[in-house]
Amino acid sequence: MTTGFRLADFLPYQLSVASNAVSRAVALGTGYESRFGLTNAEWRVLAAVTAAGAPTQVELGQATGMDKMTISRAVTALSTRRLIDRARDTGDRRTLRLSPTAEGQRIHDIVAPQALEVEARLLAALSPAESEALRRALAQLRAACEEP
């Protein structure tokens, strides 16, 4: 019995394949894996921590859409390598706030501009209108996923 389901045409599959390809392009274009030994998740957490100004792991999950276990592993690895610090929240001693160390900030400051260059190169394959339409469509898909 055939269901008419074709994996290659399935939107979640297409988005996953595209996301993996873009992530590989950024990893290769910036060298965050080869130069700094960071995984994709570790780079995303370092970038999010640097951008957010002392977030908690829960806030990182909300900001990145990454699952708790992936974030926890990345935070542990980055902390072990002294690329981020964990400090108790002054208002809630049970909560840890994350911030980049000087070395974490240095790596971020090297990789982030290169990541933007890769992004620009990838977006150059689209017209400005297509790029804007893509961003709008992705935002609409994320919003649709949050609806009941």
User: CB under 8 Å, gap of 24 or more: what pairs does 11-18 form?
Assistant: 15/141
Is 104 within the bounds of a domain?
Answer: yes
Q: Is 120 helix (H, G, I), strand (E, B) or coil?
A: helix
Is 100 within the bounds of a domain?
Answer: yes
Residue 147 pLDDT > 80, yes or no? no
pTM greater than 0.95: no
Domain hosting residue 121, numbered range: 13-146
The total domain count for the chain is: 1
Is 2 within the bounds of a domain?
Answer: no
| Closest C-alpha to 25, from 43, 11, 51, 49 | 43
Kindly report the three-state secondary structure assignment for every residue of 25-93.
HHHHHHCCCCCCCCCHHHHHHHHHHHHHCCCCHHHHHHHHCCCHHHHHHHHHHHHHCCCEEEEECCCCC
> CB neighbours (10 Å) of residue 119?
14
Note the pLDDT tens digit of each residue in 114-137: 999 999 999 999 999 999 999 999
Give the CATH number, domain containing residue 18: 1.10.10.10
Note the pLDDT tens digit of each residue in 55-87: 888 889 888 889 999 999 999 999 999 999 998
Is 1 within the bounds of a domain?
Answer: no
Note the pLDDT tens digit of each residue in 39-59: 999 999 999 999 988 888 888
